[in-house]
Structure 1
Amino acid sequence: MEKYKLTEHGIPWLLTLGMLLLMNYSDAVAQADRIDFFDEPYDVEYEEKMAESVNAGIDRFLTRYTSEVIGDREKYWNRQFDSPHAYNVSVDHNRNDLRRMIGATDTISDVTLEIKGDPGNGVIIADTEKSRIYEVEWTIHEGLKSEGLLLIPKGDIRASAVVIPDADETPEGYAGLEEGPGTALKMAEKGVRVLIPTIINRKTQHSGRDQLIPAHPWQNLDDYSVSRWSNITHREWIWRQSYVMGHHIIGMEVQKVLAAVDWLVKNKTGKSDEKIGVMGYAEGGLLAFYSAALDTRIDAAWVSGYFGSRKQLWREPVYRNVWGLLTEFGDAEMASLITPRSLLIEAAPVPGVKEPLPVKKGQRDFALAGELRTPSTNEIKSEIKKLNNFFPNESSLQPDVSLIDNVVGHGTDEALRVFIDHLGINAADSVPDKLLNSVTMHRPTDPGERHRRVFYNMEDYIQDMIPTADRRRYQFLEGDLSSPQSWDRSMEPYRKQFYDHLVGRIDKDLLPLNPRVRQIYDKENWKGYEVALDVWPDVNAWGILAVPKNINPDDKRPAIVMQHGIGGLPTTSIRVESYHHVLNALVNRGFVVFAPYNPYQFNIRKATALKKSVYSIIIPQHQQILNFLKSRDYVDRDRIALYGKSWGGRTALRVPVVLKDYSVVVSSAYFNDWLNKAVSTNYSNSYYWEDSIGIYEWNMGNTFTHAEMAAMIAPRPFMVEDGYLDGVAPYEMVASEFGKVERWYDMMGISERAELEIFKGGHEINGKGTFRFLHKYLNWPAPESPTKSQLISE
């Protein structure tokens, strides 16, 4: 974390946008003699306002871009209306896209269902005159299990259903065993066999550790009893670790539902016309909706408290964040995957969820913001109308959608009657509430303990992926190591995959540069200029250009883009202590230096719903910076390096994968074993103990982590700078990850181009080995006896 952290809100953006518009001056560096100044002096307060303006512009761009993406969804669809079969075949690829988006790609095992209980006390936990209730467990995939309740009618089984509570409800509340809607018991009383899975709740009691693995090996494990607990909800806790591994809490819970459907299908009573339905409320409504969209064996779906516009998905809790969902799916598109099967929408009020939750005693405030809102009836009807518009009037194939609105609660008898009618059961008479009072308990249940087992099972399932992820990435990234040229060619398809699927390419033409420049520094050996460049409407690249004074008219100097970390500003590399005035030292050595603003503060979740990330913006910004530098008469376009610290080191790993005009790359105070850093729930320096959303990249753990990014930078010179005492990661993690990079370079016969410098220091610039590296590979002579101004400050 840098010394200066930007606030989320500041002065009105119109004021700072006005300042940008006033920057329409000639380029004073090489194109004109006259220098024009801005109305405000260049200081930290001004930089913060400019940074806020840049971030506000990106946010406006993403808002417009969201509408563009939603308006362009039809290109992913090719619906055929000749018959139900033809229609289902035509949307199969959309179902597969949805599976990939939510990570529901594990093969579901041959599902067996185990009835739990103490045989001495009987395995039935409760019954009524018409049904029995059991506690059960079933396996989805090796290592992943589900638990819940099974209700079986004592008479004929006329249909089957999976009923999914909201995250903060229990199966017992649906089975009539405790206060709740009792929906599952009402179904069972009408002859429906029902499975109720336990889903992860929004509480926080398991979100933390009493003892963590220390970050550094010299810390005594026996004495290391740091207790860290947080206000991260259990759903966010699972989302954080699974997302990086290409899984998702939604996907894993959908697979639990589909495994339940598997068991119900395989254990039909022999009647071929026995139908299967899913019902869910709020978070359970989402799962029921997605499950029915994916599995055509589900005849009817009852979705309560979840249907409407997803245009502002980024406002919802982060565990609903699905990478790229809005590119192809809104709720209308999702519902079209259920057509021509039956869909019942119960417009029930959603739970009053507003996160982060208040911090309790002993907790740290690491949770991310999000809230649920109840959509208006008009919003729901508008989305249904959009669904209907997908289907030509003349087609016999039409959506079968029922809407029940103006309801006070959820799981209403009116909705129940419609649902069981869809399941082929005569619903003329409702189930009297008094039946819910006729339950005889034989054995108490403990829904809290059951939830604890389910929670830790899901966590273990993801954590067990970490040790084997290296192997999967080795198998994933392959290339011809016989020469640097052959390796470079081998990496091209990976670079494309990286940009399209991990970063998220925004396929828009860049605007003309339109550089706005003013001088802000006049030092003994160099001059400094504030520079703003156009990228897209409302998106700008902005930073400081430092130019040595001793440039001759025919000089072509190498350039270095010096990138700050999170919370930094263009002057960070000049004034923040951990940078040791690195910009000054580099420009005094004769390099042209550009220090851009790194915009990490905008609404990243607005981007991820569109399959875009922070680097979807940053990479085009850097492209414009490169274009600007290459347009300067005094810059050698073939000798431009990127040197970044901390999150700037993160930028130095990602941007050059795409932008090959960066001929030399240095990543400082960042490079390490990223899976432990981002996914591990036991490591003391894990991002579980931070509130940063920007580190979560979909399926990164199985594709591109730090070593693989460096491999795609190869065969260009690549260096890592790291302090022994840097809290980001211990040397052992850094060296282990760098060893993979070293192997690739060595196999190509260019081992000297990959270098790791470990120094006795912390989260800071060292500026010794990195300076030698930059001089060598930018082909610029290093000073034989460096002056004080050419060295970093102590």
Structure 2
Amino acid sequence: MRCRRIELKCALRAGKVAFVSAIFGSFVMLGSVVGARFALAEPARETETVAGSLPGTAALTVEGDLASQMIDAIDQFLDRETARTVAHRNQVWKEQFKSGQWPEEWIASRKTRLAKILGVTDPRVASPRLSILAPPGQDPVLASGPTYDVFAVRWDVFSDVTGEGLLLVPRSNGLHAAVIAIPDADVSPEALAGLSPGVASESQFARRLAESGCTVLIPQLIPREIAKRRNVSLTHREYLYRPAYELGRHIIGYEVQKILAAVDYFSAQGDPAGKPTIAVIGWGEGGMLALYAAALDDRIATAAVSGFFGPREGTWSEPVDRNIFSLLKDFGCAEISLLVHPRPVIVEAARGPEVTIPKGLGGAPGNLFTPQLEAVQSEAARANELLSLARLPSHLTLITSGDGRGPYGSETFLKAFLQTLDPKSELNAVAQEPQWRRENPWQSDRVGRQIDELDRHIQTFLEQSSDVRRQFWSRLDTSSLAKFMETVEWYRKYFYEEVIGRIDLPLSAPNPRSRRVYDEQKWTGYEVVLDVFDGVFAYGILLVPKDIRPGERRPVVVCQHGLEGRPQDTIEGDHRAYHNFAARLAEQGFVVFAPQNPYIFGDRFRTLQRKANPLGKTLFSIIVPQHQQIVNWLSTLEFVDPARIAFYGLSYGGKTAMRVPPLVPQYCLSICSADFNDWVWKNASTRSQYSYVFTGEYEIFEFDLGETFNYAEMATLIAPRPFMVERGHFDGVAPDERVAYEYAKVRFLYEALLGLTDKTEIEWFVGPHTIHGVGTFKFLHRHLGF
């Protein structure tokens, strides 16, 4: 081969990785087998160009690592897409408000949308109980302040989930107001009440409100503490975020549900004329939850937000548990505050939580910083601008102190909050902090108990997810192939727009550039670059057999590498996962294209997913149009048969095999190698050793996939085109029974329902996470008629 590489002598270390993987199971797919090689920092290979370009293309002259340049280009594109999305969102909201009237129905639809993306979709218990936690025979009062008592409490949320925290109750008639005071995730209820260290006295806003006559409930949030969980170290919040996100729920949504369950309880107290005024106030994560809860529930009279309010365009860089799919398409803090209107929103520009989740532990890195004062002011101004278009007064009060980095829970902030509850109210002077009256045996394991409850609850939804998917797919008509083809289109559209995320931009002219990099006995290889969007390109290697006769049109096989791979891995070096399958197919006479997919360079590509998600997009939002441009261009080549372009991918390339052919109709068949399994289970299980919950692939989770599309449903979008699974018995992706379970549904669709008796098959072979290239090659020859 006329291609030189910088070789890394790591065979011994790579062999050790493969050995351990074979024994314990490679739950990270190619990340454990192929990816281990790149974890050793293999340099990008250098390529010696053989003179000449593919006829009909311009010369490819760019130097350097094209894969790295691709990642940079996509990153810059997503920054532009963020700005474009936000500008479009602003215009949509302005259109709704410019009539001078309050858009009641549209606002209601936005509340529904917010509830959906937060995962606030499950019914809570109808009549929640609030229980005081005290050992038998002991004083129920846990601690006392000068004018109030403190109780440890628990309240119902779902049948299997409770909220826990502290309840501060004035001893005399107060404001007849129930306030849910929400700390940041890393602040305990005891600290916010002044019972333990961690919060400065002037910021103990829960205690100050109780001293001023409010009944105050302080919920325990799931903290950001990092703990070792099997193979990775994750924050408690990310541990719950991962499986919940896959199932259309969210750690944020669950904590909002706990707040709303408390609202349910307080709303049921007293007769209709004497029900308490209910309000929420929070700092940091608590400020975020207060804003979201008030936006969703009109029973909350006031929301006070400190240390959170501001633009959300930087959410991708924050701890991953704040990742809300498609948030920026519809909402910034300004828009969410408008869902509270006309109820008051009090915003305090104050010091927020300063948090760093470091790289290299297996979880997603992230940072929290105090919002800049100018950013807070700008976001508040956006809300007021929209209200002015509807000729409505502002409901938002902005409290600032100096540069916006002062202590949170200031007197000005609390006074403004109390005034919304009762204009006659006053903020009492700072009193003595409360004193313990007895120990609280429930405190030490409260966080663990809350984590375990949510974990079990999420796993229950995982068990039920197949039934939910079955109901979701109930409109599919398989009574005939024609009916199937007609009714499946709704699901294809949903998959693209709601799961993958369609980029609503036209493809650029491909502007193909190429250079010859291989000159083999039976085929010639060209590096090819194609434009996709402004700045975004597709890159791969085209292998052209030398025995193509004039006028002959050959079938194409697109051969896709896995995680951290490169096109060259599928062509040369007899890599243990790929075994030169692209070159072998070219030697058999197929035209082959080996694309570079952008899942390479670790955190760099995972950041692309982080930036895409708030836009309602994913990494495959880029990969799908890249492949569409590839097949569009391949179809123009004089030696290619456009009706016979097949896809064959391994590992992350197998993920591609399940997501791209459903949306790129020119792919006439798809082969998924070393990836096909019960995908929802693999992503959401906290019981299985194979689960992605316990790996470093923090980008892998796809919002609400569990209730819409498992791999059998993705294969449904490929049907009636041929579809094949290649499965090694010792592949650590999943156990055989899970693969067989999911594939049985595919075979049932093809053969039993649609009568397609020769269009799908699975090949089992004795081997690991690798291309076998026996049954799949026969499948290609048969269905491509070659």
| 3-state DSSP of counterpart to 1:550 | coil
Q: Which amino acid aligns with 1:468?
A: Q
Match of 1:504 among 476, 501, 504: 501
Hey, what does 1:776 align to over in structure 2?
782
Hey, what does 1:91 align to over in structure 2?
107
Hey, what does 1:620 align to over in structure 2?
625
Distance 2:83 2:382 in 1: 15
**1:417 touches 1:430 (CA, 8 Å); kept in 2?**
no
Hey, what does 1:190 align to over in structure 2?
212
C-alpha displacement of 1:39:
7.0
**1:340 touches 1:400 (CA, 8 Å); kept in 2?**
no
**2:212 touches 2:427 (CA, 8 Å); kept in 1?**
no
C-alpha displacement of 1:36:
5.1
Distance 1:171 1:160 in 2: 16
**1:81 touches 1:397 (CA, 8 Å); kept in 2?**
no
**2:347 touches 2:396 (CA, 8 Å); kept in 1?**
no
Q: Which amino acid aligns with 2:565?
A: G
Superposed CA deviations along residues 510-542 of structure 1, whole A, max 9, x for unmatched, are 011110011111110111111100100111010
Distance 1:278 1:81 in 2: 30
Greater shift in the superposed pair: 190-199 or 384-393: 384-393
C-alpha displacement of 1:606:
0.5
Query: Which runs of structure 2 are paired with 1:110-121 in the superposition (5 Å)?
Result: 110=126, 111-121=128-138
Q: Which amino acid aligns with 1:506?
A: I
- Is 2:720 the counterpart of 1:708? no
C-alpha displacement of 1:758:
0.7
Distance 1:325 1:248 in 2: 13
- Is 2:54 the counterpart of 1:29? yes
| 3-state DSSP of counterpart to 1:761 | coil
- Is 2:250 the counterpart of 1:248? yes
Distance 1:203 1:56 in 2: 32
Q: Which amino acid aligns with 2:224?
A: R
**1:562 touches 1:644 (CA, 8 Å); kept in 2?**
yes
| 3-state DSSP of counterpart to 2:399 | strand
Hey, what does 2:160 align to over in structure 1?
143
**1:153 touches 1:188 (CA, 8 Å); kept in 2?**
yes
* RMSD across aligned positions (CA): 2.5
C-alpha displacement of 1:483:
3.1
Distance 2:372 2:401 in 1: 10
C-alpha displacement of 1:433:
3.2
Match of 1:367 among 363, 369, 372: 363
Distance 2:303 2:686 in 1: 36
- Is 2:693 the counterpart of 1:688? yes
Query: Which runs of structure 2 are paired with 1:556-567 in the superposition (5 Å)?
Result: 556-567=553-564
Hey, what does 1:389 align to over in structure 2?
385
- Is 2:446 the counterpart of 1:450? yes
Match of 2:480 among 483, 494, 516: 483
**1:487 touches 1:715 (CA, 8 Å); kept in 2?**
no
**2:282 touches 2:290 (CA, 8 Å); kept in 1?**
yes
Superposed CA deviations along residues 570-597 of structure 1, whole A, max 9, x for unmatched, are 1110132321111111011111000000
| 3-state DSSP of counterpart to 1:752 | coil
Match of 1:643 among 622, 644, 648: 648
For residues 743 and 457 of structure 1, do their structure 2 counterparts lie closer, same or farther at Cα, with a shift above 3 Å needed? same
For residues 202 and 61 of structure 1, do their structure 2 counterparts lie closer, same or farther at Cα, with a shift above 3 Å needed? same
Query: Which runs of structure 2 are paired with 1:711-790 in the superposition (5 Å)?
Result: 711-747=716-752, 748-780=754-786
Q: Which amino acid aligns with 2:54?
A: V
| 3-state DSSP of counterpart to 1:134 | strand
Structure 1 unaligned residues grouped into runs of 5+: 41-45, 209-227, 360-364, 781-794
- Is 2:520 the counterpart of 1:520? no
C-alpha displacement of 1:268:
4.1
| 3-state DSSP of counterpart to 2:537 | strand
Greater shift in the superposed pair: 179-188 or 744-753: 179-188
The number of equivalent residue pairs is 732
- Is 2:202 the counterpart of 1:203? no
Query: Which runs of structure 2 are paired with 1:126-141 in the superposition (5 Å)?
Result: 126-141=143-158
**1:418 touches 1:427 (CA, 8 Å); kept in 2?**
no
Hey, what does 1:259 align to over in structure 2?
261
C-alpha displacement of 1:457:
0.5
C-alpha displacement of 1:275:
2.2
Q: Which amino acid aligns with 1:605?
A: R
- Is 2:613 the counterpart of 1:611? no
**1:166 touches 1:280 (CA, 8 Å); kept in 2?**
yes
Distance 1:617 1:232 in 2: 28
| 3-state DSSP of counterpart to 1:656 | coil
| 3-state DSSP of counterpart to 2:577 | helix
Query: Which runs of structure 2 are paired with 1:160-175 in the superposition (5 Å)?
Result: 160-175=178-193
C-alpha displacement of 1:393:
6.7
For residues 80 and 516 of structure 1, do their structure 2 counterparts lie closer, same or farther at Cα, with a shift above 3 Å needed? closer
Greater shift in the superposed pair: 180-189 or 643-652: 180-189
Distance 2:82 2:137 in 1: 59
Distance 1:80 1:540 in 2: 39
**1:626 touches 1:661 (CA, 8 Å); kept in 2?**
yes
Hey, what does 2:407 align to over in structure 1?
409
C-alpha displacement of 1:241:
0.9
Match of 1:493 among 490, 493, 510: 490
Match of 2:298 among 296, 302, 306: 296
**1:76 touches 1:94 (CA, 8 Å); kept in 2?**
no
Match of 2:551 among 549, 554, 557: 554
Hey, what does 1:212 align to over in structure 2?
none
| 3-state DSSP of counterpart to 2:38 | coil
| 3-state DSSP of counterpart to 2:571 | helix
Q: Which amino acid aligns with 2:732?
A: G
Hey, what does 1:57 align to over in structure 2?
73
Superposed CA deviations along residues 616-653 of structure 1, whole A, max 9, x for unmatched, are 00000000100111000111111110000010010011
C-alpha displacement of 1:31:
3.5
Greater shift in the superposed pair: 182-191 or 230-239: 182-191
For residues 282 and 8 of structure 1, do their structure 2 counterparts lie closer, same or farther at Cα, with a shift above 3 Å needed? farther
C-alpha displacement of 1:150:
1.4
Distance 1:235 1:557 in 2: 52
For residues 268 and 278 of structure 1, do their structure 2 counterparts lie closer, same or farther at Cα, with a shift above 3 Å needed? farther
**2:678 touches 2:739 (CA, 8 Å); kept in 1?**
yes
Q: Which amino acid aligns with 2:613?
A: T
For residues 175 and 529 of structure 1, do their structure 2 counterparts lie closer, same or farther at Cα, with a shift above 3 Å needed? same
C-alpha displacement of 1:88:
4.8
Q: Which amino acid aligns with 1:324?
A: S
| 3-state DSSP of counterpart to 2:758 | helix
Distance 2:661 2:40 in 1: 29
Hey, what does 1:632 align to over in structure 2?
637
Q: Which amino acid aligns with 1:184?
A: A
Distance 2:494 2:423 in 1: 50
4+ residue runs over 6 A deviation = 6-11, 81-84
For residues 396 and 586 of structure 1, do their structure 2 counterparts lie closer, same or farther at Cα, with a shift above 3 Å needed? closer
| 3-state DSSP of counterpart to 1:663 | strand
Superposed CA deviations along residues 133-166 of structure 1, whole A, max 9, x for unmatched, are 2211112223222111112211114211101111
C-alpha displacement of 1:676:
2.6
Query: Which runs of structure 2 are paired with 1:640-679 in the superposition (5 Å)?
Result: 640-679=645-684
C-alpha displacement of 1:334:
1.3
Superposed CA deviations along residues 324-349 of structure 1, whole A, max 9, x for unmatched, are 00111111111122222211112221
For residues 519 and 229 of structure 1, do their structure 2 counterparts lie closer, same or farther at Cα, with a shift above 3 Å needed? closer
Distance 1:702 1:297 in 2: 30
Hey, what does 2:24 align to over in structure 1?
none
Hey, what does 1:432 align to over in structure 2?
430
TM-score between both structures, scaled by the size of structure 2: 0.89
Q: Which amino acid aligns with 1:737?
A: E
For residues 425 and 129 of structure 1, do their structure 2 counterparts lie closer, same or farther at Cα, with a shift above 3 Å needed? farther
Hey, what does 2:7 align to over in structure 1?
none
**1:309 touches 1:330 (CA, 8 Å); kept in 2?**
yes
Superposed CA deviations along residues 550-585 of structure 1, whole A, max 9, x for unmatched, are 101111111110010010111110132321111111
**2:414 touches 2:427 (CA, 8 Å); kept in 1?**
no
Match of 2:118 among 102, 110, 124: 102
C-alpha displacement of 1:95:
0.9
